[in-house]
Structure formats: structure tokens, C-alpha cells
């Protein structure tokens, strides 16, 4: 069984000893960057490697970049190989924040040409509620060769976002509503959103138990959000190109493939004061 979207806790539990399944713990807290690594060291799902959002899944921040620039494909590809990822394995990613961090690695792997990657549905919280096995032991890793083949068609830049908005095409922002409208802004220097963008908080993809909604419910919600925009013409953003990947995953589950990520997102957009921003009263 291979998955390009979701993996259940039951499926993962049956595959913990399968060398063709590679697991990544992606826990991360934006305001406490080392908290995720510390939590991993204390306890994680057996076999999991740890991928750090800043150190492993992003390039260094530059004056004109967002907070989490895309990593160099060759550098990330080399790391993936050292972690034992080849083109033949099933990768599973998880976190403790409803997938909002782990989806970054889900999207990055697909960007680099690796389709067999799924998010653990319900994440670590569901795994723990079911009293499944945890360990503090480091995984045994057999290095592999990973060939990075980045797909530029999965990305949009600031100019393309501007052009899409001028055409009336859907640009969906995954941040919470209070950040989108500019009521609060705990992370970036400017509050608000891009004029013409629409708010689609990633939390709206979730059921009450923290798993993702079913394909039919997600499809109905995104078709309404997209309006006349074809899925492949839509662009997704957030604060720094991380939680927006949750909406991209939701669209894949819904059968609405081909949407693009604006990796720089709001934190890159605001580095150029000539770009328009708006706050709602």
C-alpha cells in the first residue's frame, strides 16, 4: 500500500518494522524553535527521524525572503539520502499540531519528485490517545541515494500572485482569521493580508477529532472557495509557506490537484513596501 496523501495510525502501526517505510517527526513551535527537537529526544514514534523546520526544511533567511525560504534542492536531497530516503520508499510525516508543520515536508518531497509521502492522519495526538508505542531510541538508518528533481510548476512567486489577483483568480491564505484581518500579528512586522486574497484557515480542513475531513466535504468546501478558478490556477499562501501546504494537501485529498504554493507568503510579501497590504477594521 502506497499513499500520496494520508496514512492512518492503524496503517503505520502495521508498518513500523518495514524498511520500506520511512517516518519523520516534524514537531516545531515557531516561538520556541528547539522545542520540537527536545520533545523528539524525549519520546517519538519508533523509527522516526527528526526534521527541523529551520535547520533542515528551509534555507537561511535573506532580507527579501520570507521566514522559511525553500531549501536548496541538492542540499535537502543529500539530507534525505542520509536519512535513508530513496525513490522507492513510502514516507510518513507527523507532528503534534494537526499536521500544520509536517505538511511542509510532505510538500517538499512532492516538489522534489517523491510522490509516495503521506501525513499521519491525526498526528502524534491520535497515536498517543490510542496508547501506541513511543521510544526515546535513535533510529537505525541505512543511507540511500535520493535524486532531487524539483518541479518549478508547483511554485508561484510574488509577481505571479499579483497577476492572479488582477485576473480575479483564487489566492487562498491559510492563516487564522485574526491574523488575516490584521487584528493580531505575533510573528511578522506588518499585520493584514494581500488585497484580493481570501482567507481559508487550515484548521477548517479538520474534523473535531483532529483528523482531516473526508474527500467529499473537502471537495465541496474548496470548490466553493475557488469559485470560477480552476484548481491548477489557484495559489496558496500563509505566513511563511508552511501551513499553506495543509490546504494543498486537503485539495489533493479532494481530487483537486495542481494548485501552487507561494513559498515566501506574507512574510516575503511585506519585505517590499511597494506591494499593497490591507487591514480590516
pLDDT, tens digit, 9 for 90 and up, residues 235-276: 999 999 999 999 999 999 999 999 999 999 999 999 999 999
Residue 276 located in a structural domain: no
Report the pLDDT averaged over residues 203-209.
Answer: 97
**Cα–Cα dist 265/68, whole Å:** 9
Q: What is the DSSP letter of 120?
A: E
Q: Domains in the chain: how many in total?
A: 2
Residue 278 located in a structural domain: no
CATH of the domain at 169: 3.40.250.10
For residue 34, give its domain range. Answer: 6-150
Which of 223-258 are b and which e, b meaning 16 or more Cβ less than 10 Å from the residue's Cβ? eebbeebebeebbbbbbbbbbbbbbbbbbbbbebee
Residue 281 has pLDDT above 90, yes or no: no
Residue 1: predicted pLDDT:
59
User: Of 128, 150, 172, which residue is a domain's last?
Assistant: 150
* Cβ 251 vs Cβ 43: under 8 Å: no
Work out the number of other CB atoms within 10 angstroms of the CB of residue 136.
9
Catalytic residue among 26, 155, 238, 245: 238
**Cα–Cα dist 104/59, whole Å:** 13
pTM tops 0.85? yes
Alpha-helical (H) ranges within the chain are 9-14, 35-42, 73-82, 102-111, 123-129, 158-166, 177-180, 215-226, 244-253, 265-269
Is there a single domain that holds both residue 33 and residue 146? yes
**Closest by alpha carbon to 72, among 89, 60, 63, 84?**
60
Task: Give the whole-number percent of the chain exceeding pLDDT 70.
Answer: 100
User: Of 150, 166, 185, which residue is a domain's last?
Assistant: 150
- φ, ψ of residue 92 in degrees (nearest 5): -125, 135
* 238 counts as catalytic: yes
Is there a single domain that holds both residue 58 and residue 193? no
Is there a single domain that holds both residue 97 and residue 12? yes
For residue 182, name the pLDDT band (cuts at 50, 70, 90): very high
**Closest by alpha carbon to 103, among 91, 114, 93?**
93
Amino acid at each position: 500500500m502506497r499513499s500520496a496523501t494520508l496514512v492512518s495510525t492503524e496503517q503505520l502501526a502495521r508498518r513500523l518494522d518495514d524498511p520500506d517505510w520511512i517516518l519523520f517527526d516534524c514537531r516545531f513551535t515557531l516561538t520556541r524553535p528547539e522545542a520540537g527537537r527536545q520533545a523528539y529526544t524525549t519520546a517519538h514514534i519508533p523509527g522516526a527521524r527528526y526534521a527541523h523546520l529551520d535547520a533542515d526544511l528551509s534555507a537561511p533567511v535573506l532580507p527579501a525572503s520570507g521566514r522559511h525560504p525553500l531549501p536548496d534542492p541538492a542540499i535537502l536531497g543529500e539530507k534525505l539520502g542520509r536519512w535513508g530516503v530513496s525513490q522507492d520508499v513510502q514516507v510518513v510525516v507527523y507532528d503534534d499540531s494537526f499536521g500544520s508543520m509536517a505538511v511542509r515536508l510532505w510538500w517538499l518531497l512532492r516538489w522534489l519528485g517523491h510522490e509516495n509521502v503521506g501525513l499521519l492522519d491525526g498526528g502524534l495526538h491520535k497515536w498517543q490517545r490510542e496508547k501506541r508505542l513511543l521510544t526515546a531510541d535513535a533510529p537505525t538508518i541505512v543511507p540511500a541515494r535520493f535524486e532531487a528533481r524539483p518541479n518549478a510548476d508547483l511554485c508561484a512567486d510574488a509577481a505571479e500572485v499579483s497577476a492572479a489577483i488582477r485576473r480575479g483568480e483564487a489566492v487562498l491564505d491559510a492563516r487564522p482569521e485574526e491574523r488575516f484581518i490584521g487584528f493580531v500579528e505575533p510573528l511578522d512586522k506588518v499585520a493584514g493580508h494581500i488585497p484580493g486574497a481570501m482567507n481559508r484557515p487550515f484548521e477548517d480542513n479538520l474534523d473535531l477529532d483532529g483528523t482531516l475531513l473526508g474527500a467529499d466535504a473537502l471537495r465541496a468546501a474548496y470548490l466553493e472557495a475557488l469559485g470560477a478558478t480552476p484548481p491548477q490556477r489557484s495559489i496558496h499562501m500563509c505566513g511563511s509557506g508552511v501551513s499553506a501546504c495543509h490546504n494543498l494537501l486537503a485539495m489533493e485529498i479532494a481530487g483537486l490537484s495542481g494548485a501552487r504554493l507561494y513559498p515566501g507568503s506574507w512574510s516575503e510579501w511585506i519585505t517590499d513596501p511597494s506591494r499593497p497590504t490591507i487591514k480590516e477594521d
